[in-house]
Amino acid sequence: MSMNIVKDFLLQLAIIATIVFTFQTFFATKSMRYKQHIGVIQAVLLAVAIVLCMSFPAYATSNVRLDIRVVPLLLGALYGGWRTGIFLSAMIILYRLFLGADLGLYVTIATLVVSMPVILISRKSFQHGGKNKRIKLALLLSIFYCLVGTALGSVFRGVFIINLIHVCIVTLAVWLFTSLNEMIKEILLKNQQLQSAAKDAEISFLRSQINPHFLYNALNSIAALCIDEPQKAEALTLDLSKYMQSSFNFKHMDIFTTIESELALIKAYVNIEKARFGTRLVVEYDVDTEVDVCIPPLILQPLVENAIRHGLMTTLQGGTVIISIKKETDEVVRFAVEDNGIGISTSTQEHIWLVDKKKQGIGIGLQNLSQRIELLYGQRIRIESTEGIGTKVFFDIPIQPLKPIGG
């Protein structure tokens, strides 16, 4: 008899393990963007585990059915929240009603009424506790649930029956799954930290790639102005200082800035370039004043630099660069840099995205920027260009409630 009970409990345990590990395998590493949907999926899978456990019970006597439904119930309530706990409790009652309105139904309802408030109240301590505290609390709650069920069962049936095998398997299962959940959480946390560190390091590296030719030309321009126009040379030196300070500021690799600060940097850069190219270079700004969003620094300047160096200044007449920042929707802002220069051929556009460590010029700048945008927002920049007419480079970023921690 006892061996049959053990086999029945092991079957239930196998059902729970299959469902829980399936969830962890397919959904534990999904983006936080889908957190709400993942919670619903988790609740449904745990409800399936409960139904299957109740469908294959172990019989202590001909009238007493035992199962380990408390395991997925506890996992759902402690990790999923009170909504999941209430949902799973309702599923237990409904399925027990489906199986038949007998004394077992009343024992089930009474056990849940007494136990669930204690479990849900304990969840706050569970959330704020460390790994060991969580495991101990889950074990205590499982034992509490079993004892409540046993006590209420004796009241309704008039016979006190406690099955030690049932209690042992329940506590063992709760310990096993809680420990595994905590272990998986630790692994995922460490993995996220490593990914974050790698992302920050790569963003820092991409930010550090300043064109040495620009610095050389800027210094030559300042030197040429020092004798004839010293005041203009001084202003240009201050612009260069502002530009260099922002370009080499790596104190915070994940720093975010304001649009105003980014535009101030661009204006400093444009002033330096205008000192070289004079009236050949015209820059216009089309910025939506209602846009209030924090952005990564140096995400527009490389586009402006490409537009000036490769789009306009390769021709004698020069041209115009339009810097646009517009709110596309309530959730997205579009950043664009457009010029009326020589344009980019289709073959060159395709070549831009080819990885080539020896590549110089427009390709490497756009690649670096696109990598930063992809690392931060999961999307790449886009190019629209026609030879002889001009080029438009743009990208969209989500509006996020981020506070700048630097300028």
Final residue in a domain of this structure, among 178, 201, 224 = 201
Nearest 5°: phi and psi at 334? -105, 130
**In this structure, are 110 and 234 located in the same domain?**
no
Indicate whether 406 belongs to any domain: no
- Kindly state the average pLDDT of the residues 326-346: 89
Same domain, yes or no, for 72 and 9? Answer: yes
Are residues 197 and 216 located together in one domain of the fold? no
What is the SS3 assignment for 257?
strand
Interatomic CA distance for residues 258 and 240, integer angstroms: 20
Identify the CATH number of the domain in which residue 92 sits. Answer: 1.10.1760
Q: Residue 285 has what pLDDT?
A: 94
Could you please report the per-residue DSSP string of 113-177?
Answer: HHHHHHHHHHHHHHHHS-HHHHHHHHHHHHHHHHHHHHHHHHHHHSS----HHHHHHHHHHHHHH
Residue where a domain stops, chosen among 201, 216, 243 = 201
The number of distinct structural domains making up the chain is 2
Is there a single domain that holds both residue 235 and residue 220?
yes
Residue 284 has pLDDT above 80, yes or no: yes
pLDDT at 374 over 80: yes
Q: For 342-402, give the DSSP string.
A: S---HHHHHHHTS--TT--THHHHHHHHHHHHHHHHS---EEEEETTTEEEEEEEEE---P
In a domain, residue 63? The reply is yes
pLDDT 10s digits, 156-209: 766 566 677 788 888 998 998 899 888 888 887 787 777 666 666 655 555 555
Whether residues 124 and 255 share a domain: the answer is no
In a domain, 165, yes or no: yes
Give the mean pLDDT of the chain. 80
What residue numbers bound the domain in which 108 lies? 2-201
Could you tell me if 390 and 336 lie in one domain? yes
Angstrom distances, CA of residue 141 to CA of 106, 109, 126, 134, 270:
21, 17, 11, 11, 66
Residues 189 and 224 in one domain: no
Residues 8 and 69 in one domain: yes
In a domain, 407, yes or no: no
Is residue 120 scored above 80 in pLDDT? yes
Q: Which of 165, 183, 201 is the last residue of a domain?
A: 201
More confident position, 62 or 76: 76
375 is a domain residue: yes
Sign of the C-alpha dihedral computed for residues 92, 93, 96 and 98 taken in this order = negative
3-state class (DSSP) for residue 30: coil
CATH number where 222 lies = 3.30.565.10
In the chain, the percentage of residues whose pLDDT exceeds 70 is 81
Q: Per-residue confidence at 246, pLDDT binned at 50, 70, 90?
A: low
Residue 73 lies in a domain: yes
The whole-number pLDDT of residue 203 equals: 55
Same domain as 175, residue 155: yes
Tell me: do 138 and 220 sit in the same domain.
Answer: no
Question: In this structure, are 370 and 226 located in the same domain?
Answer: yes
Give a yes or no: residue 404 inside a domain.
no
CB 352 within 8 A of CB 363: yes
Mean pLDDT throughout 97-107? 86
Across 221-250, average pLDDT: 79
Residue-level pLDDT at 193: 73
Instruction: Please check whether residue 403 lies inside any domain of the structure.
Output: no
For 18-50, how does the pLDDT look when each residue is reduced to its tens digit (9 = 90+)? 887 777 666 655 544 455 678 888 889 999 999
pLDDT digits (tens, 9 = 90+) for 252-265: 445 678 888 888 88
Let me know whether 345 and 305 are in one domain.
yes
Q: Give the DSSP H/E element, type plus range, for residue 324.
A: strand 319-327
Q: What is the mean pLDDT of residues 135-163?
A: 83
